[in-house]
A = this chain, B = another copy of it.
Amino acid sequence: MGAADKAEYDVLGIGNAIVDVLAQVDEGFLARQGLVKGAMQLIDEVAAHDLYEAMGPGVEASGGSAANTIAGLASFGRKTAFIGKVRDDELGGIFAHDIRSIGVHFATPPATEGPTTARCLVLVTPDGERTMNTWLGASQNLTVDDVDEDLVKASAITYLEGYLWDPPHAKEAFVKAAGIARQAGRKVALTLSDSFCVDRHRDSFLELIRKQVDILFANEAEIKSLYQVERFDDALHAVRDDCPLAVLTRSAAGSVIVDGGDVHVVGAHPVEQVVDATGAGDLFAAGFLAGFTQGRPVADCARMGALAASHIIQQIGARAIRPFHEVARENGF
């Protein structure tokens, strides 16, 4: 089967299936809880319980990094699918409903025993920055059996989140999917997710990127962590040799696209006020891949990514309240 075969899905995402619990906190709360602002940390069930007890009232919304990207792509009108593990509990039902209700194909069977659906306690400070605390729950039980080979083959791009490296079995599922996709002449995309996640899995990320990744997404902290360099330019030069297409985001400073020998620098989309940074990177990837799967030039793809990111950080939560296809049309895409 060649890449020229028409794919049924534009993008298949594989990631942790998580429900976010978003709450407003002040800086003092982060300090008292000993949390690193802006980072994602993994916590166990007891710590999740204790932190939840300590925090204020929350708003629950479907989350998960790759799942947010896929939801964003669906909102742009692209054809999408998702693989991820929930439990057969109320939050699992919410996750499944939300992703299916926007037209995403989601058929991973929920776990009928073991830990509950994963949740991420997202603490949003007055500056809009978010600090994430994830209890992986049922996500940990994603296995190679959950990777539907036909679905991977039927997808133009298989998009994987670096966070999937944390649950031990999920990593195998991740590697299996990448192998199937490449063998079928499809593309593999990877997001590094978080600089601490890169720290935990640097060597295996590098190996995967060099062998099997066609499109790499990373922010400045992540790509510098990957190559253990101080300067962004050094990371940029390093990634050029390792991956055919790297999409590097720099928050308000815009993005840099390393497309083989070409480098495109694209500005950020204007933002009036950052309400909640949750999902900025995920939605940048969504906008980029929406353009990419429409065959647009990579600089335009980056502009669509910047547009989607700017919209998501001006609302609470990582799933778009307004459909992106409308936002895109209003902005000339």
A46-71 interface mask toward B, CB cutoff 8 Å, 1 = contact, 0 = none? Answer: 00000011011111111000000001
In the complex, chain B residues whose CB is within 8 Å of the CB of A57:
62, 71, 97-99, 101-102, 319
Contact yes or no, A60 B94, CB < 8 A: yes
Q: Is the Cβ of B60 less than 8 Å from the Cβ of A59?
A: yes
Greatest chain B CB density within 10 A among A71, A97, A116 is at: A97
Minimum CB distance partner of A103 in chain B: B56
Would B62 and A102 count as touching, CB distance under 8 A? no
Provide the residues of chain B in CB contact with A59, threshold 8 Å: 59-61, 317
Interface string of A127-149 (1 = CB under 8 A from B): 00000000000000000000000
Complex Cα gap A56–B57 (Å): 24
- Interface: A90 (CB within 8 A): yes
Q: Which of A67-119 contact B (CB under 8 A)?
A: 71, 89-91, 94, 97-99, 101-102, 116
User: Quick one: which of A277-309 are within 8 Å of B by CB?
Assistant: none
- Residue A225, interface by CB 8 Å: no
Which residue of chain B has its CB nearest to the CB of A95? B57
Interface of A is mostly: mixed
Answer yes or no: A316 CB below 8 A from chain B CBs.
yes
Q: With the chains together, A163 CA to B91 CA distance in Å?
A: 27
Residues of B within 8 A of A98 (CB): 57-58
Knowing A24-B321, A60-B60, A321-B24, say if A55 contacts B91 (CB, 8 Å). Answer: no
Q: Which residue of B lies closest to A104 (CB)?
A: B57
Q: Is the CB of B101 within 8 A of A56?
A: yes
CA gap between A294 and B225 in the complex, in Å: 55
Who on chain B is nearest to A55 by CB?
B101
Instruction: Give every chain B residue within 8 A of A62 (Cβ-Cβ).
Output: 57
**A90 x B116 contact (CB < 8 A):** yes
CB distance from A135 to the nearest CB of B (A): 13
Question: Please, which residue of chain B has its CB at the minimum distance from the CB of A71?
Answer: B57
Chain B hits for A99, CB < 8 A: 57
**Interchain nearest-CB distance for A95 vs B (Å):** 10
Chosen A-B contacts, 14 in total, with CB atoms closer than 8 Å, are A24-B322, A55-B101, A56-B101, A56-B102, A57-B62, A57-B98, A57-B99, A58-B61, A58-B97, A59-B317, A60-B60, A60-B94, A90-B116, A316-B316
A residues with CB within 8 A of B: 24, 52-53, 55-62, 71, 89-91, 94, 97-99, 101-102, 116, 316-317, 319, 321-322
- 4 closest Cβ contacts across the A-B interface? A57-B98, A60-B60, A90-B90, A59-B61
- Extra contacts, 8 of them, besides A24-B321, A56-B101, A60-B60 (Cβ < 8 A), are A24-B322, A56-B102, A57-B99, A57-B101, A57-B319, A58-B98, A60-B61, A90-B91
